[in-house]
């Protein structure tokens, strides 16, 4: 069991100053390093190499690479009959990148049973900058012209790195994931990174991959840091992502 002394990174260190991901702790699972900053270059390098930041207010920046890694292969997204019927009747409208600021703010809101949020003011500022620069994206669910759910993350090469989601109405976050996975499948994305396993994600078709296999997929699919720009420009009814069978 690996619980060595943690590696500290300075803000002055280059973006690639992280230790190898197989040096991550076993307990807590995946803790790799601390410190550094949330500059665009460091964040992009981290994601391309299977590392992500996750920390609470008052903590240093903590960098993680858990093993196994929770991923969702876009064609594997599971829509149950009950969910299909519910979404077909919902009238949800899907938009992309029209209100990133509101999506990340909603994800950062403290929820019932939760004492705080890991989406700190510094994290919000960093991801808003990545959004302005074309790396971070929001998938939004609207109803009666109100934002009622959504998610955000980064698209680098052919991998989408999911960060967080929220829902103010039943199944709204699932609608966002459905729309996203349909787009990713159509555009031949390798996977949607879900970071850490949860029963909710597993019920939607997510699976677990060994960290080294995940890293090898990243090496093939997002080693070239290219932006994804082929998002639908117009709002779409959720039915367009469900296909023809809504019974």
Q: Which candidate, 37, 54, 34, places its Cα nearest to that of 45? A: 37
User: pTM (2 decimals)?
Assistant: 0.94
Compute CA distances 65 → 33, 47, 161, 167, 175, whole Å: 10, 10, 13, 27, 28
Distance CA 12, CA 37 (A): 9
At residue 101, φ and ψ (nearest 5 deg) are: -60, -45
Give the model's pLDDT for residue 5: 85
Return the bridge partners of 212, or none.
none
CATH 3.30.70.3550: which residues of the chain? 7-67
With 0-12 CB in 10 A as exposed, 13-18 as middle and 19+ as buried, what is 6?
middle
Question: Do residues 176 and 106 make contact, with C-beta atoms less than 8 angstroms apart?
Answer: no
Return the bridge partners of 209, or none.
69
Give the model's pLDDT for residue 32: 97
179's tokens: 């729309």
Give the model's pLDDT for residue 117: 63
CA 7-8-10 angle, 5° bins: 145
Give the model's pLDDT for residue 114: 45
Give the model's pLDDT for residue 182: 97
Question: Do residues 24 and 66 make contact, with C-beta atoms less than 8 angstroms apart?
Answer: yes
Question: Do residues 97 and 151 make contact, with C-beta atoms less than 8 angstroms apart?
Answer: no
Give the model's pLDDT for residue 217: 98
Question: Do residues 32 and 64 make contact, with C-beta atoms less than 8 angstroms apart?
Answer: yes
- List of residues 6+ apart from 108 with CB closer than 8 A: 117, 119, 120, 123, 124, 164
Q: How far apart are the first and last CA of the chain?
A: 50
Question: Do residues 79 and 243 make contact, with C-beta atoms less than 8 angstroms apart?
Answer: no
Give the largest CA-CA distance in the chain.
57
pLDDT along the chain (247 residues), means of 10: 78 98 95 98 98 94 98 97 96 98 92 60 97 98 97 98 96 98 98 96 97 98 93 97 65
What architecture is domain 70-242? 3-Layer(aba) Sandwich (3.40)
Preceding amide of 28 cis, omega within 30: yes
CATH of domain 7-67: 3.30.70.3550
């Amino acid at each position: 069991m690996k619980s060595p002394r943690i590696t500290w990174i300075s803000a002055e260190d280059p973006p690639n100053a992280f230790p190898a991901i197989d040096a991550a702790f076993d307990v807590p699972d995946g803790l790799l390093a601390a410190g550094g900053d949330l500059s665009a270059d460091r964040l992009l390098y981290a994601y391309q190499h299977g590392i992500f930041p996750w920390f609470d207010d008052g903590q240093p920046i903590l960098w993680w690479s858990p093993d196994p890694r929770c991923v969702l292969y876009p064609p594997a997204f599971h829509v149950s009959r009950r969910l299909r019927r519910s979404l077909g009747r919902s009238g949800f409208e899907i938009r992309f990148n029209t209100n990133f600021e509101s999506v990340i703010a909603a994800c950062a809101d403290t929820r019932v049973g939760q004492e705080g949020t890991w989406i700190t003011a510094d994290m919000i500022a960093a991801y808003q900058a990545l959004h302005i620069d074309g790396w971070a994206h929001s998938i939004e669910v609207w109803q009666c012209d109100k934002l009622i759910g959504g998610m955000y993350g980064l698209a680098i090469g052919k991998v989408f790195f999911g960060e967080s989601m929220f829902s103010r109405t039943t199944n709204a976050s699932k609608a966002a994931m459905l729309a996203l996975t349909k787009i990713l499948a159509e555009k031949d994305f390798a996977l949607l990174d879900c970071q850490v396993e949860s029963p909710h994600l597993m019920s939607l078709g997510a699976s677990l991959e060994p960290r080294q296999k995940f890293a090898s997929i990243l090496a093939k699919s997002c080693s070239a840091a290219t932006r994804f720009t082929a998002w639908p420009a117009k709002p779409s009814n959720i039915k367009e992502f469900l296909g023809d069978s809504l019974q």
